[in-house]
A and B are shown apart, each in its own frame.
Chain A
């Protein structure tokens, strides 16, 4: 399925609400193993709250290998690509190990306490 992102979000992909619209559409399709292409033609502004919600939370229950095979991004601006890449990298770490968040918190808060 080819999805023109602008038809759901308008010309900016920046908010949690718009990210949720994309997530609600693509999540069931990807769970069924369908191919999905997100077409970002004419999208101007990109920001992390949108990508955290639209893409990042897919990694909660769909393995990254499946997403790589079935979810494609086209016509995403270089900055949008950079934002999405950072969000995906963070989500991979966050969802890959349920104890990781606790470990990150412990480590970072520990550093703050001891400094």
Chain B
């Protein structure tokens, strides 16, 4: 293993997590964490204390709350839809030179395209004609949800997408053989990539509040 890769894996606690005698240390890494279930308090604490507060030089409480709200949509989505048997793993990294902060989430669940194809089959559509890129595009469309059930749903990814777009961040999903990139005013969907068991999500944030677009101070009529 290359020295810098080894150092990074030791620093964020991956090696000690895997049983090696390599204690993690506080550098630019955000330590690896395993959430077996939707433990709201533990996840929110991780996002505030491990990921955001330690890595950002200055950030207003309001922006902090908005970012945590947007990122929570990913966690809850992973637990609700992925059918993961192993929970969700997450870690992060600060890049001081680029002034950027990364967060990665991994589940080993069914994968978004497989989930959409199963749903299409239930709806008596032809799953063979839906490629992973199109399945992902469907999942990212407002109002789409494979878990409608008794309640309306399907706005979580749309909210996240809007937050990413407004704040000029980037978001990547690798799921089964599909890939999504959202950022730089573009949305790119691909299929035919090497198969991933489950979903890997990469978020890249800029560590400078001046780039952020706060939600409009004017409170719109909520019912309109």
Contacts and interface: CB of A to CB of B under 8 A. Distances in A.
Interface in B165-224: 214-220, 222-224
Contact of A64 (B61, B135, B143, B223): B223
B143 A90 contact: yes
B154 interface: yes
A45 B159 contact: no
A30 interface: no
B218 to A, nearest CB: 8
Interface residues of B, number: 49
Interface string B141-163: 11110001011111110110000
A34 B214 CA distance: 35
A113 B212 CA distance: 37
B151 A77 contact: no
A57 B150 contact: yes
Contacts, number: 130
Contacts of A104: 143-144
Contact of A78 (B151, B154, B215, B223): B215
Given A77-B215, A90-B152, A85 B220 contact: yes
Secondary structure dominating the interface of B:
loop
A79 B60 CA distance: 14
Nearest to A55: B222
Interface string A42-85: 00111111001100110100001001100001001111111111
B125 A94 contact: no
B81 to A, nearest CB: 12
A109 B39 CA distance: 33
B68 interface: yes
A16 B55 CA distance: 30
A48 B222 CA distance: 14
- Residues of A in contact with B, size category: 35 or more
Given A78-B219, A91-B152, 9 more contacts: A46-B69, A48-B153, A52-B152, A57-B151, A90-B155, A101-B148, A112-B137, A113-B125, A115-B137
Interface of B: 38, 40, 44, 61-62, 65-66, 68-69, 72-73, 76, 80, 116, 120, 123, 125-126, 129-131, 134-135, 137-138, 141-144, 148, 150-156, 158-159, 214-220, 222-224
28 contacts: A14-B76, A15-B38, A44-B65, A47-B72, A49-B76, A49-B156, A56-B151, A57-B151, A77-B65, A77-B215, A78-B218, A79-B66, A79-B69, A81-B220, A81-B222, A82-B216, A83-B69, A85-B220, A86-B159, A87-B155, A90-B143, A90-B154, A94-B143, A94-B148, A104-B143, A109-B130, A111-B134, A112-B135
